[in-house]
Structure formats: structure tokens, C-alpha cells
Chains A and B, each alone.
Chain A
Amino acid sequence: MNTELKLQALLDGALDAREIREIEAILAQDIQSAALMQELKWMKAAVAGNEAEVKLPETREFYWSKIERGIAAEAKQAAAAPAERAWWLRFIYPATGLAAMVAVMFVVSGGRTTDGADTESVPEDVNAISFRSEAEAMSVVYVADENGTFNPVGQETKNEPEADK
């Protein structure tokens, strides 16, 4: 390790007792090393605890909705992955699912339902997420399209016409 890196290691508390004695001896004699050490100290002091404060520019519901979707997608993928299972295990999940579905339908059919409400479908090439903000009484479907290929607002509405500039 060269002297400069040893100076830095001293500053960061990464030297043992012998190395500390050695580098302090150099510092006492060499003005340039002392000046460099001072510069490193200034920088360490300036940076520590002075990270810029950044806040997430999205609401709790909106941010969470994509995470929730990601978790669901990963779970689906994991379930679809082929695994070594006993032959009867292949049937137990569909059978349980079917039984649960029949049970749910049986219970639900006893009363009025809004079956099929609050669901959305999108074409395969469209990436959309949906969530509900209870506080604002809003059900939202958000189409993520970084390239902005769909422009319902129209460019002429947004831009200044030449005459206005």
C-alpha cells in the first residue's frame, strides 16, 4: 500500500497500531503528505451526514400497486416452473382449487353479487397497473408507456404555436 492510501486508511480507522505509528511519523516530516491528509479530512467531514434529501415522487398506493403486481407475477412464474413432484401432487392443487371455487360459488350464489366488477383487461402489448385510492375515492388503471406512443391530449394542445412564441 502506498503512502497516500495509508493516509486515507488512517483517516478511515483501517490501520493497526504499528501502521499508525509509521504513517504519523511520515506526516510529521512531510508537508505535502500533511496537506493531502488535510484535504482528505475536509472531504470526509463535508460528505458525512450531508447526503441530499430525496423523496419518492409517488403516492403510497401507486408505488405499492406495482410492487404488489410484481409479487403476484413472480409467484405465478414460480408456480408455473416445472418441479419434481409425486404424481398425485399434480392433481391435488387443481382439485383443491376446483373445490374452493365450487364452495365460493355456492356461498356467493345465495345473494346479490357484483361478479366481474372492478376488473380490467388490456391487450398483451399494453402494460397497465390498477389500484384504488380509498382516501380519494378513485379506482385507477394506469397504462405505463415510457415512449408515450398514445397521445390522447394531442401535441397541438401542449405546444406553443409558432405565432405565440
Chain B
Amino acid sequence: MSLKPTSNPSRWQFLVLLLTSLSALLGVASTPVEARVQAVLIWGTDEAKPTGKNLKEVDSKLRDRLANVFKWKNYFEVNRQTATLPSSVKVQTIKLSEECSVEVKLLPENVAEVKLIGKGKAMVTRRHSLSKPDALVLAGDDKNKTAWFVVLNFN
């Protein structure tokens, strides 16, 4: 019994193959190769700086930006970390304090996925477009009418 030779792909099959390859190529191209992220943990309060603490006020530019949006008078920097995010690394974890860390993941279409982890649990998951110059600020109520802020800047 002789086998019939396989027929050449039709014009439609070829078009589908071409489109699939093109979209896959576009997907890879739109994932940023590398990004740097700076995460700053800040404490906002109306009280003066606690004496004997190694807290420094956030720089005046950031302080003004925060004070234009939020109600607190003073903003103290608690921790600052910078990390590089190569697209090959799936998730980059940045630890900011005992209770708090952020997980950052680069996604296609110039988007970063940021997960705020508190006490081991994801508090907020936010997808943030890197095509805008916006800082991403994750914030919340703290004890005694104070607040915490995690300010993330990407470049």
C-alpha cells in the first residue's frame, strides 16, 4: 500500500501560522527587558518626629507631593530599597519591614504587577502601566490616626 504524499499547507493555514508567529513576536517585544524599581516605606503622622529615632523626613519634593494629596503633616522615611527587574526573573520580592514586602512582576504590554504582602498575605494586587510617569502609591490607615505609604517608582 502506498501512502499519498502530504499535501502542501493551504493559503489559509499559512496565514494563520503567520499571524500567530507575528502576535507571539509582538508579545515578546512588548515585555520590557529590564526595569528598575525603587520602593520607599513612609510613615505619615501629624505628630512631630519621635525623639531618639533614626527616622528622616522624606525629601521636600516627595513630601510636597504627598501633602498635596493626603492630609498628614509629616512624612518620615522608614526604609528604601531599589531592585532591578530582569524580565527573565519571574517575581522580585522587596522586603521593607518585618510585616511588609512587595512582590513585583513584569508583564507584557509594559505593565508591572505589584503585590503588597502584609503578614504573609496579599493585601493589594495592582497592575500598573509603566508607560505613564506615575508613581504607584500603596497606602493605608495605621494606628493612632497615622498612615503608612509604600511609594514605588519605576524606570
Contact = CB atoms under 8 A, between A and B. Distances in A.
Q: Do A and B come from one complex?
A: yes
Interface of A: 57-59, 61-62, 112-123, 126, 128, 130, 132-133, 135-146, 148, 150-155, 157-161, 163-164
Given A151-B143, A153-B142, A139 B50 contact: no
B123 interface: yes
Interface size grouping (class) on chain B: 35 or more
B140 interface: yes
B35 interface: no
Listed from nearest, the 3 A-B pairs whose CB atoms lie closest are: A143-B140, A152-B100, A164-B52
A131 B59 CA distance: 23
Contacts of B65: 136-138
B123 A59 contact: no
Which of B55, B139, B148 has most chain A Cβ within 10 Å? B148
Given A113-B109, A148-B144, A152-B148, 18 more contacts: A58-B71, A62-B70, A114-B110, A116-B111, A118-B128, A126-B123, A130-B126, A133-B69, A135-B68, A139-B135, A140-B69, A141-B138, A145-B140, A148-B143, A150-B123, A154-B98, A154-B99, A157-B53
Contacts of B51: 160, 164
Contacts of B138: 140-141, 143
Which of B71, B107, B140, B142 has most chain A Cβ within 10 Å? B140
A150 B99 contact: yes
Contacts of A153: 41, 43, 78, 97, 142, 146, 148
A151 B118 CA distance: 8
Contacts of A135: 68
Contact of A121 (B125, B132, B134): B125
B150 interface: yes
Interface of B: 26, 30, 41, 43, 45, 50-53, 55, 65, 68-71, 78, 96-100, 107, 109-111, 118-119, 121-129, 131-144, 146, 148, 150
Contacts of A144: 140-141
A26 B42 CA distance: 68
Contacts of A150: 99-100, 118-119, 123, 140, 142, 148
A104 to B, nearest CB: 16
Contacts of A112: 26, 30, 109
Contact of B140 (A114, A132, A142, A155): A142
B14 to A, nearest CB: 21
B54 to A, nearest CB: 9
Given A138-B69, A153-B78, A123 B121 contact: yes
Given A118-B127, A151-B143, A153-B78, A139 B137 contact: yes
A130 B118 CA distance: 18
Contact of A154 (B50, B52, B97): B97
Which of A112, A126, A136, A152 has most chain B Cβ within 10 Å? A152
